[in-house]
Structure 1
Amino acid sequence: MPGLRKQIFLGTFISSKSRQELQYLHDAAVCVDSHGKIVKVDVDCTSAELIDDRLLNKLGWEKSEVDVHVAKPGQFFFPGFIDSHVHAPQYPNVGIFGKTTLLDWLEKYTFPLESSLKDLAKARRVYTACIRRTLANGTTTAAYYATIDVDATNLLADLCLSLGQRALVGRVCMDNQDICLDYYRDESAEASLEKTLQTIQHVRDIDPSFELVSPILTPRFAPSCTSESMRGLAKIQRDMDLPVQTHISENKGEIALVAKMYPESSSYAAVYDDHGLLTPRTILAHAVHISEDEARLIAKRKSKVAHCPCSNSVLTSGAARVRWMWDRDITVGLGTDMGAGYSPSILEAARQTALVSRHVAMGIDEADPEHERSKLTIEEALYLGTRGGAAVVGLEGRVGGFEEGMEWDVQLIGLGDVNEEGFPADIDVDGGNVDMFGWESWEERIAKWVYNGDDRNTKKVWVKGRLVHSRR
């Protein structure tokens, strides 16, 4: 990003080396240029005093043009989280879901709130709070659903750009008059497509190369769209090579409705494929109940899945089988969903992912090897929230790790120390729920962070080299 100063970060850097393994770089330095890109990783820079000889001279940087950030003892740098499925307009309803299931919840809670955001003052308040809260939880990239309103969708894109969050922003398409409510739907397929083109053009106007904010085609889900609008969106996708996001197989009632509405298609996934929307750039949220045939089709088309364990649980939709999808070559990331979920945190989603995988295991006989295999590790859950999510939103190779050439989308994590009297070592700093006693290994520290951590542990957040969130 033009205008940034060059930066050098010193400390411990932890990221996913693979699904199964985290990489720990201690006493390391990462150099970030004025465009927010990592240009040098030095794995043996033990102090700021070594910067001149080891880094500045080699890079040809002047000391006066560089900001140096040194992590405190116990702190570490971790890639920013990627939320591959989140409904920004639903943020005020986080935690409000009662005992409803998906379709009832949409009608009772979701559509009234979303439709009210044509009031742009209200939309600004909601979207600003959503972006700031997700940034505070370390989410550097979010795939956002907006509403059907063009101006409100454009406002969400504007706010993401100004607040510095990397985002995919989609105007929700829903034109099926037999399913959508009278007060909240597109007038026609033609109108739906025209409004979508308007939001695409707006994003192109404010961020021409989609460096930070990108449009994303957003048919809400198959029942809300006519065949005409879905085919029109597929043509836009082919012509402009844009990403797509939608829902699939979230609960059984929804699946039955799709089967009734589209009897000519062999499955829910086939509905999207028959309309040209199952592409390598398609994000399918939930996928709780997909069949073997659907999994093969999704993998063949190289479409991706956003796993939303929290909302799948609170709406009693079911437990998605992440290992099962991985075994079938489906790329998976994490989503908070909101407001069906109750947390804006991908760290919470990683925690819930590990727990839900154990519920999947409980449904498998203990003598079956799949009983143990179904359980996801801490390392795998964090992979889903970083490199997995990057692949889902089409940013693999750009974000999610600390390799040279990648962009500096990063969070600084700090965990609280306990003194000899059993109190926080620094009473002036809120270290959250994670207490460290000093004898934990780094693997144990990470486990305690995943299972006990929250936004209080996220001390600073950068996107493309720009500091976008900071707390004590």
Structure 2
Amino acid sequence: MTKSDLLFDKGNDKHAEFLVFFGTFVDTPKLGELRIRERTSVGVLGGIIRFINRNSFDPIKDCLAYDSSLSPEDVTVIDTIGEDKTQHSTFYFPGFIDTHNHVSQYPNVGVFGNSTLLDWLEKYTFPIEAALANENIAKEVYNKVISKTLSHGTTTVAYYNTIDLKSTKLLAQLSSLSGQRVLVGKVCMDANGPDYYIEDTKTSFESTVKVVKYIRETLCDSLINPIVTPRFAPSCSRELMQQLSKLVKDEDIHVQTHLSENKEEIQWVQDLFPECANYTDVYDKYGLLTEKTVLAHCIHLTDAEARVIKQRRCGISHCPISNSSLTSGECRVRWLLDQGIKVGLGTDVSAGHSCSILATGRQAFAVSRHLAMKKTDHVKLSVSECLFLATMGGAQVLHMDDTLGTFEVGKQFDAQVIDTDAPDSNVDMFHWQLQGEDEMQEQMQDIYTNPPLLTKEDIIAKWFFNGDDRNTTKVWVAGHQVYQV
């Protein structure tokens, strides 16, 4: 199977089959903690993790011990150890969570000109989004982004679409067919848009309601959820925000929008909403800050704004590639985390030039280093902290941390297999660096003077800095395989 063979029919899966995944499991249950469990079996039924057994030698026996009514024929084992008894190259990692992705902008990836945010929207963004009213174009773009994100190990995505109702329903349909876990948002935009790409308040609200009803009552896929999507404060009237706020509260729906991305944008918001104390206060005043609200960027927040976000239990999507590409600024992630504010990662395609959350994590690492050069070492993010933001942090931001983000009994099995030794891998390791190569070590002692060995943490760091989609060989969402090389 090739990288292009990405979309699987969930209807062909054996939903009652008991799966046991066997190998090394790596995750980040807490900020700064990298948990590595070797020779571990994880039992999965109905997409839910039923048991985890460390130091396992017989995964089928583990499964039968969990449920004595089962026979070996009822169990399918997915073994990543195989002949690799040293377990250096392959491990399971939670599926990445992309908390901010403008799927409709993907054709513009890598196209910036010399723009900053507001002129970039006018010159590049609004025209491409408007074009996706053509469903043939939209289908092609959506399938590409879904397949691309899955190939990079992203199992959950919060998608922004366009203002178009039909294409938003199409995005939900295609996401369901792919098996990806998504939140789908029809962009709401009844103010300060170009004549060819704007809607009136009534249409914006009613089409949002139709998307919610379509996803919940017609599509009826537990992996697909609606998310109310006011583009950002300048593009929404007070009336529209109030109507959306009532919908959010009445129907218990997620919200996603932008906040404090660009200094010119912040001043524009202040001019448009003089009755509000600041940008955050606009969303708070009009009822859009909830524990299920995802706020993208949040680069230039004041102390007062951060306190409100913490009080409302909102989450922040850190989009470092986009912020760097558009010279928007450097988000103070450590400052947010120190206050107990939830932070995840967002690719922010297309201002972000990659669909890869791994690449986004690397940029988050680098941006924190740039901030440290101006401030203190305390603001640096470690590899394990960036991987936390990519998984458990994203789950917290989406208010899904009870079910996603780590390997725990009772959680959904959303996972990817990472193989650092995959064909053409960009992750290079030498045999004499690997633990367990005792005989080779003895043979090489006359040539090399005590060559340093790599720890498990070192190997994961090499993947973090050098890995890409070539290393993601299989992906599961809710226990269903949705991608493999």
Specify the TM-score bucket, using the shorter chain as the normaliser: over 0.9
| Matching residue of 1:193 | 205
- What are the superposed Cα offsets for residues 406-444 of structure 1, whole Å, 9 maximum, x if unpaired? 11100000002xxxxxxxxxxxx5242101222311100
Q: Are residues 1:395 and 2:400 paired?
A: yes
Q: Is the 8 A contact 2:92 2:418 kept in 1?
A: yes
Q: Are residues 1:257 and 2:268 paired?
A: yes
Number of aligned residue pairs: give it: 445
Identical aligned residues as a percent: 46
Which amino acid in the other structure matches residue 208 of structure 2?
T
Aligned mates of 2:254, 2:62 — CA distance in 1: 41
Aligned mates of 1:409, 1:375 — CA distance in 2: 29
Which amino acid in the other structure matches residue 425 of structure 2?
G
| Matching residue of 1:20 | 32
Q: Are residues 1:128 and 2:143 paired?
A: yes
Deviation at 1:92, TM superposition (A): 1.3
Aligned mates of 2:208, 2:63 — CA distance in 1: 47
Q: Mapping of 1:128-147 within 5 angstroms?
A: 128-147=143-162
| Matching residue of 1:68 | 77
Q: Mapping of 1:33-52 within 5 angstroms?
A: 33=45, 35-46=46-57, 50-52=58-60
- What are the superposed Cα offsets for residues 255-282 of structure 1, whole Å, 9 maximum, x if unpaired? 0100000011000000000000111111
Deviation at 1:205, TM superposition (A): 2.8
| Matching residue of 1:284 | 295
Change (3 A) 1:375 1:268: same
Q: Is the 8 A contact 1:158 1:206 kept in 2?
A: no
Aligned mates of 1:442, 1:21 — CA distance in 2: 14
**Which of 339, 342, 348 does residue 353 from structure 2 map onto?**
342
Q: Is the 8 A contact 1:136 1:458 kept in 2?
A: yes
| Matching residue of 2:215 | 203
Q: Mapping of 1:174-189 within 5 angstroms?
A: 174-176=189-191, 179-186=192-199, 188-189=200-201
Q: Are residues 1:435 and 2:428 paired?
A: yes
Which amino acid in the other structure matches residue 306 of structure 2?
A
Aligned mates of 1:123, 1:191 — CA distance in 2: 21
Which amino acid in the other structure matches residue 433 of structure 1?
N
Q: Is the 8 A contact 2:98 2:158 kept in 1?
A: yes
Q: Any stretches of 5+ residues in structure 2 without a counterpart? A: 1-9, 435-452
Q: Is the 8 A contact 1:18 1:383 kept in 2?
A: yes
Q: Is the 8 A contact 2:474 2:484 kept in 1?
A: yes
**What is the RMSD computed on CA atoms of the aligned residues?**
1.2
Moved more, 456-465 or 210-219: 210-219
Runs (4+) of structure 1 moved beyond 4 Å? none
Aligned mates of 1:24, 1:304 — CA distance in 2: 27
| Matching residue of 1:224 | 235
Q: Any stretches of 5+ residues in structure 1 without a counterpart? A: 365-370, 417-428
- What are the superposed Cα offsets for residues 339-398 of structure 1, whole Å, 9 maximum, x if unpaired? 00111000011101110001111222xxxxxx0110000010000010000011121111
TM-score when scaled to structure 1? 0.93
Which amino acid in the other structure matches residue 242 of structure 1?
I
Q: Matched residue of 2:21: which SS?
A: strand
Q: Mapping of 1:348-387 within 5 angstroms?
A: 348-364=359-375, 371-387=376-392
| Matching residue of 1:172 | 187
Q: Matched residue of 1:460: which SS?
A: strand
Which amino acid in the other structure matches residue 320 of structure 2?
P
TM-score when scaled to structure 2? 0.90
Deviation at 1:207, TM superposition (A): 4.2
Aligned mates of 1:70, 1:226 — CA distance in 2: 54
| Matching residue of 1:9 | 21
Which amino acid in the other structure matches residue 450 of structure 1?
F
Which amino acid in the other structure matches residue 157 of structure 1?
A
Which amino acid in the other structure matches residue 224 of structure 1?
S
Q: Mapping of 1:433-472 within 5 angstroms?
A: 433-437=426-430, 438=434, 439-471=453-485
Q: Is the 8 A contact 1:431 1:457 kept in 2?
A: no
Q: Matched residue of 2:423: which SS?
A: coil
Q: Mapping of 1:292-331 within 5 angstroms?
A: 292-331=303-342
Deviation at 1:198, TM superposition (A): 0.7
Aligned mates of 2:65, 2:31 — CA distance in 1: 36
Q: Is the 8 A contact 2:20 2:60 kept in 1?
A: no
Deviation at 1:97, TM superposition (A): 1.0
Deviation at 1:151, TM superposition (A): 0.4
Which amino acid in the other structure matches residue 393 of structure 2?
G
**Which of 96, 102, 118 does residue 87 from structure 1 map onto?**
102
